[in-house]
């Protein structure tokens, strides 16, 4: 669902994190959402960028939407475009959508957030608290100075805070202490997600109890080279240059593709690989699925072979 939103309030949480309140440009109630949902904003030439919706205990979810955007000075321009918004500006957004929902399970939840990846976890902790469901909320950042929402998350939601520079998070110890039946929710940078997932699996947590959202897009890697994608059904071949994704090239060629996050964490663009070796850069597939080289996420992953033949 596409909607037009007006920026009604802005404040800075940290030097780099800006919080926006948004209401309907047409007036009336905003569409509802569940914890973990996001809005996908149309930023013109920059493209579409998604930001999680935030709500705290006691707040009315029917009120303004609240999002937080961390400015990435070396990024691709999305966060800078959002930070340029002023009170009264109108912006178009798709959603709310939710690819990172809380599951209906009996066991406790461990919410693990890294940096600005805390935003969906705030809403999850709020929902779990309201439902009386057991959870542990663990929040890690480089330092106290850059940790947005740290005090409020600790005071209202019981978040345990860890800082890389003074009190780093011990992932093996955290995963080693998981209660039986725990479901793990992780949101943050890819390095933290990969490390946490590996430790959770090592501790015996089944893959189907690990739920992930990557909060930053997978950046172009140094040394990326062009490769070819062949469409199995048609035999058409396309060159994917450095700096462009498979989805971008195929859409420019007129193909209609299914995708959402464009970060490699929702799984919607998963595609069967007929031949070739993908360079997996997602956080959706298990290690076994990646090793099989039979599926890939075409929004972020590239190729180690000269050509991929895809079932599209």
pLDDT tens-place string over residues 65-116: 999 999 988 776 889 999 999 999 999 999 999 989 999 998 999 999 999 9
Whole-angstrom distance, CA of residue 276 vs CA of residue 224: 17
Predicted local confidence at residue 217, as pLDDT = 55
Report the C-alpha gap between 101 and 34 in whole angstroms.
7
Provide the pLDDT confidence category of residue 1 given band limits of 50, 70 and 90: confident
What pLDDT sits at residue 216? 63
Q: Report the DSSP beta bridge partners of residue 137.
A: 111
All domains in the chain, ordered by first residue: 2-97 (2.40.30.10), 109-214 (3.40.50.80), 227-310 (3.10.20.30)
Contact 20, 5 (CB under 8 A): no
pTM above the 0.85 mark?
no
Q: Is a pLDDT exceeding 90 seen at residue 276?
A: yes
pLDDT digits (tens, 9 = 90+) for 153-162: 999 999 999 9
pLDDT at 266: 82
Q: Is the pLDDT of residue 6 over 90?
A: yes
- Coil, strand or helix: which one is 224? coil
Please give the share of the chain, as a percent, with pLDDT higher than 70: 97
């Amino acid at each position: 669902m596409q909607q037009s939103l007006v920026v009604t309030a802005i404040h800075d949480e940290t030097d780099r994190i800006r919080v926006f309140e948004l209401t309907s440009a047409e007036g009336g109630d905003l569409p509802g959402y569940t914890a973990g949902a996001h809005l996908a904003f149309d930023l013109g030439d920059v493209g579409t960028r998604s930001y999680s919706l935030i709500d705290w205990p006691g707040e009315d979810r029917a009120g303004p939407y609240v999002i937080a955007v961390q400015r990435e000075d070396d990024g691709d321009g999305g966060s800078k475009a959002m930070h340029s918004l002023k009170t009264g500006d109108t912006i178009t957004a798709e959603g709310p959508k939710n690819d990172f929902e809380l599951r209906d399970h009996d066991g406790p939840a461990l919410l693990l957030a890294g940096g600005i990846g805390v935003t969906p976890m705030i809403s999850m902790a709020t929902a779990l608290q309201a439902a009386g469901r057991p959870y542990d909320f663990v929040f890690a950042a480089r330092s106290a100075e850059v940790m947005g929402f740290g005090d409020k998350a600790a005071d209202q939601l019981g978040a345990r805070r860890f800082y890389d520079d003074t009190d780093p998070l011990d992932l093996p110890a955290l995963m080693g202490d998981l209660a039986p039946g725990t479901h793990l929710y992780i949101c943050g940078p890819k390095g933290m997600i990969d490390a946490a997932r590996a430790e959770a699996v090592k501790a015996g947590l089944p893959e189907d109890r690990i739920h992930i959202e990557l909060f930053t897009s997978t950046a172009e890697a140094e040394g990326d080279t062009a490769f070819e994608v062949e469409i199995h059904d048609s035999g058409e071949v396309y060159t994917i240059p450095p700096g462009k994704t498979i989805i971008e090239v195929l859409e420019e060629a007129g193909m209609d593709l299914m995708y959402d996050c464009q970060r490699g964490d929702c799984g919607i663009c998963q595609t069967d690989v007929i031949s070739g070796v993908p360079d997996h850069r997602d956080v959706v597939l298990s290690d076994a699925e990646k090793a099989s080289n039979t599926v890939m996420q075409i929004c972020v992953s590239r190729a180690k072979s000269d050509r991929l033949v895809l079932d599209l």
